[in-house]
Amino acid sequence: MTSIRDNLDQIRSRIADACAISGRNPNHVRLVAVSKVKPAELIDEAFAAGQQLFGESYVQEFRDKETTVKSPVEWHFIGALQSNKVKYLCGKVTLIHSVDRLSLAQEINRQWGKINAVAPILLQVNVGDENSKAGCASAELPELTRKIAALPHLSIRGLMCLPPYADDPEQVRPYFRQLRELAAHIEVEQIPGVIMKELSMGMSGDFEVAIEEGATLVRVGTAIFGERD
Ligand SMILES: *Cc1c(COP(=O)(O)O)cnc(C)c1O
């Protein structure tokens, strides 16, 4: 088995290659190490190998790790989120990737308001229009964006997607492109409080294609930490 350090080195060089191919600045692509299900020690190990940003998907697990991980890591929340659990993330995560409905945004606004802060968020879009998946429908995105942008303790920074699974990353490319085009479409509306700067897309199997299509945040788990049971 290869070490986390070797895996991170490999992924960083693959990110650099994908940026070179597409003429992008590698400083504009951040690696989110998805540590869900993996123990806190592995997060400390990845941190020791230079990885500072981690993504978690389950609130209870995040709460546990947030206290057990010793390194001063930065946390993003990337998973499905229930409104009644937002309070546990408040002030502890620097970005929530998975906001897909007004009621959730309102609760984030309420919680971050209590600490007089602004929560950076991404809007998750169900690009494949799959019944099984979270995310707002593409057609509803402009209206949802306008409503959420009006909340004072939130700042919309971009979009996130979790496209339909495919073995061949080329089959996912059209969904990544769709997310980029949706962001461009929202950008021209110049909605106050909305910056379409981030595109969170691409995972272990397809992050290079996502980078070619404009990803600024790639969420990689398995390729760093190994398979999850
Ligand atoms: C688990 C997960 C990932 C990482 O997937 P890998 O295939 O292990 O890289 C990325 N994004 C989200 C939202 C996830 O839940």
- Provide the residue ranges of all domains of the chain, joining segments of one domain with +: 4-225
Percentage, residues of the chain above pLDDT 90: 97
Residue among 8, 34, 77 whose CB has most ligand 1 atoms within 8 A, to mutate: 34
Q: How far is the CA of 117 from the centre of ligand 1 (A)?
A: 28
Residue 67: exposed, middle, or buried by beta-carbon count in 10 A (0-12, 13-18, 19+)?
exposed
**Mean per-residue pLDDT, 19-27:** 97
Q: What residues does ligand 1 touch, defined as CB less than 6 Å away?
A: 34, 36, 57, 78-79, 162, 203-205, 219-223
Query: Tell me: domain 4-225, CATH 2.60.40.10, correct?
Result: no
Crossing angle (nearest 10°) for helices 141-149 and 102-114: 20
Q: How far is the CA of 26 from the centre of ligand 1 (A)?
A: 21
**Mean per-residue pLDDT, 186-211:** 96
**Mean per-residue pLDDT, 71-79:** 98
Residue whose structure tokens are 């910056």: 195
Q: How far is the CA of 218 from the centre of ligand 1 (A)?
A: 9
> pTM of the predicted model, to two decimals?
0.97
Closest C-alpha residue for ligand 1 atom 10: 219
Q: What is the reported pLDDT for 193?
A: 87
**Mean per-residue pLDDT, 78-83:** 98
Q: How far is the CA of 106 from the centre of ligand 1 (A)?
A: 26
Q: What is the reported pLDDT for 2?
A: 79
Residue among 62, 78, 218 whose CB has most ligand 1 atoms within 8 A, to mutate: 78
**Mean per-residue pLDDT, 25-46:** 97
Task: Please tell me whether residue 125 adopts helix, strand or coil conformation.
Answer: strand
Assess whether pLDDT exceeds 80 at residue 1: no
Q: Considering the chain, what is the average pLDDT of its residues?
A: 97
User: Model confidence at 44, in pLDDT bands (50, 70, 90)?
Assistant: very high
Ligand 1 closest atom vs CA 162: 13
Question: Could you tell me how many residues make up the chain?
Answer: 229
Q: How far is the CA of 217 from the centre of ligand 1 (A)?
A: 12
Assess whether pLDDT exceeds 90 at residue 229: no
Q: How far is the CA of 189 from the centre of ligand 1 (A)?
A: 31
CA 207 vs CA 14, 30, 39, 214: distances in Å: 9, 11, 24, 10
Residue 27 makes CB contacts below 8 A (sequence gap 6+) with none
**Mean per-residue pLDDT, 3-7:** 97
User: Model confidence at 83, in pLDDT bands (50, 70, 90)?
Assistant: very high
Assess whether pLDDT exceeds 90 at residue 91: yes
Ligand 1 closest atom vs CA 97: 13
Q: How far is the CA of 5 from the centre of ligand 1 (A)?
A: 19
Assess whether pLDDT exceeds 80 at residue 40: yes
Percentage, residues of the chain above pLDDT 70: 100
